[in-house]
Amino acid sequence: MTLRHAVLGLLAESPGSGYDLLKRFESAMGLVWTATQSQLYGELGKLEKSSLIEVAAEGPRGRKEYAITPSGREVLRSWLLEERPVAPRRNEMLLRVYFLGEVSPEQARGFLTANAESARGLGEELARVEQAVDWDDSDASVFGRLALEWGKRYAAMEREWAEWAAEVVRSERG
Amino acid sequence: MTLRHAVLGLLAESPGSGYDLLKRFESAMGLVWTATQSQLYGELGKLEKSSLIEVAAEGPRGRKEYAITPSGREVLRSWLLEERPVAPRRNEMLLRVYFLGEVSPEQARGFLTANAESARGLGEELARVEQAVDWDDSDASVFGRLALEWGKRYAAMEREWAEWAAEVVRSERG
DNA sequence: GGGTACATGTAACTGGTTACATGATTGT
DNA sequence: ACAATCATGTAACCAGTTACATGTACCC
C-alpha cells in the first residue's frame, strides 16, 4: 500500500488530475516509484472515498482535479516517520548472477559486461537529468536532488561491481 | 514470474523438497529473492504440471523430493541469457526521501541517520556471513560470492549516501 | 508420552499489469 | 475535418502475503 502514499505525496506538492499525476510518475518519479494508469485511477477513487483527497475542481473532458485534505496530509506525515528502513529483498539481476554457473563462462562474462554497460547508461542518463533541471532551494528541489544523487551512486556502484565481477569470472573460470 | 526461475535454479544446484527449498530461500538466497511457504508449494505444483520439474523420490511424512528435468534446465538457461538487465524502479526508502519536505528538518535528518545506521548494520551482517561461509571453487561459491559482494557494496553506498544526505539537510535546512 | 521439527496444502485478500473501451477538446 | 492529446474508467489475470488447517516422524 505504498502507491497510496506516493499519490498523497504528489498531491501534497500540488493538486492535479489522474492524468497529471500519471505524467509526474513517468517523469520525475521514474527512478523512485511507478504506477500504471488503471492502478492510479483506482487508487484515486479509494483515496477520495476515505476522504484523504478531494475533488477541488472539475474541468473539460470530465477532468477532476484532486487536492490533498488535512487528514490526507496527516496520513502522509505519519507514514514518513514510521521508521522501518528496509533494504529491498528481491533483485532479479542478482538472482541471475546467483545461477550463472548454469551457462558457459563466456556467457556469464557477457551477462556481467552487459550489466556494466547498462549501469553506465543509467549513470549518464541521470547526469543529464541533473544538468537539465534547474534546481532551486524548494523542498522538492532539495529532496529530489538527494534522490537523484542516490541513483547516481547506485549506478556507479553497480557498474564498478559488474566490471570487477566480469574480471573475477575471467580469472577464475577462464 | 521470477519465482519460477528461482526454484528452477535451486533445483538445478541440487534436488530437494518444498520444505528444503524454503530453508534455502531463507538462508543463502535471503538477499536475492524471497518466497513464502504457500507461494512455494503452489509454484512447485505448477512446475511439475508443466514437466519442468519432477518428483524424483518420496519420503516420510508425504515428503516429495523434486528434481529439475532437462526441459526445466532449458528454461532456466534461456532465462539467464535473455538479456534485459533492468534497474529496479521502485524503492520505498527513496520515495520517502522524495517527500521529506513534509516533515521538519530534524525529523528528516533523523530519518536519514536511521537509514545510515541500518545500512551499516546490513554491511556488518554481510561481512559476518562472508567470514562464516567456507568458500570453495564450486559455481555456487564463486557466483554466490559475487552476489554477496554486490550486497556489501550496496550497503556501503547507501550508508555513505545517507550520511552525506543528512549533512546536506543540516547545512541547507538547519 | 510429548515436544520439536518435518511436511504439505488451501482460502481470502491485496497489489500490480495488460488489455479493452469510450469519449471530449484543441490546434492546425 | 482530423489527428493528437486529454481524460476516465472497467475486467481479467497474475504475483505475493497472511492465516488457517492438518498430520507424521523422530528424539528424549
pLDDT tens digits for range B147-158:
999 999 999 999
Work out if B1's Cβ lies within 7 angstroms of strand D. yes
Find the nucleotide nearest B62 (Cα to C1′).
C7
Contacts of B102 in chain A (CB under 8 A): 9, 12, 73, 76-77, 80, 139
Residue B24 has pLDDT above 70, yes or no: yes
Of B83, B89, B157, nearest to A30 by CB-CB distance is B89
Cell triple for B149: 559482494
Interface touch B80/A92, C-beta < 8 Å: no
Residues B48 and B41: their CA atoms lie apart, in Å, by: 11
Measured in angstroms, the CA of A128 and the nearest CA of chain B are apart by: 17
Of B34, B101, B111, nearest to A89 by CB-CB distance is B34
D9 C1' – A140 CA distance, angstroms? 31
pLDDT tens across B92-139, in order? 999 999 999 999 999 999 999 999 999 999 999 999 999 999 899 999
φ/ψ of B28, rounded to 5, equals -55, -40
Q: Average per-residue pLDDT in chain A?
A: 95
D7 C1' – B73 CA distance, angstroms? 47
Residue type, A82: E
Work out if B24's Cβ lies within 7 angstroms of strand C. no
**Residue corresponding to grid cell 535454479:** B9
Work out if A37's Cβ lies within 7 angstroms of strand D. yes
Interface touch A99/B157, C-beta < 8 Å: no
At A87 the pLDDT is: 80
Cell triple for B137: 571453487
A74: nearest CA partner in chain B: B102
At B171 the pLDDT is: 97
pTM attached to this predicted model: 0.95
Helix, strand, or coil here: A73?
Answer: helix
Work out if A101's Cβ lies within 7 angstroms of strand D. no
D9 C1' – A70 CA distance, angstroms? 27
For the segment A83-88, the average pLDDT, to the nearest whole number, is: 74
For the segment A8-21, the average pLDDT, to the nearest whole number, is: 97
At B23 the pLDDT is: 96
D8 C1' – A50 CA distance, angstroms? 20
Work out if B71's Cβ lies within 7 angstroms of strand D. no
Which chain D positions come under 7 Å from a protein C-beta? 6-12, 14-20, 23-26
Degrees, nearest 5: CA angle A27-A28-A29:
95
φ/ψ of B58, rounded to 5, equals -120, 150
Measured in angstroms, the CA of A39 and the nearest CA of chain B are apart by: 15
Q: pLDDT class for B85, splitting at 50, 70, 90?
A: low
| Concatenated DSSP letters of B98-119 | HTGGGS-HHHHHHHHHHHHHHH
Long-range contacts of B103-111 (CB under 8 A, 24+ apart): B103/A77, B103/A80, B103/A81, B105/B169, B105/B170, B105/B173, B105/B174, B107/A80, B107/A81, B108/A143, B108/B169, B108/B173, B109/B166, B109/B169, B109/B170, B111/A80, B111/A81, B111/A83, B111/A85
Interface touch A94/B157, C-beta < 8 Å: no
At A85 the pLDDT is: 65
For the segment A128-138, the average pLDDT, to the nearest whole number, is: 93
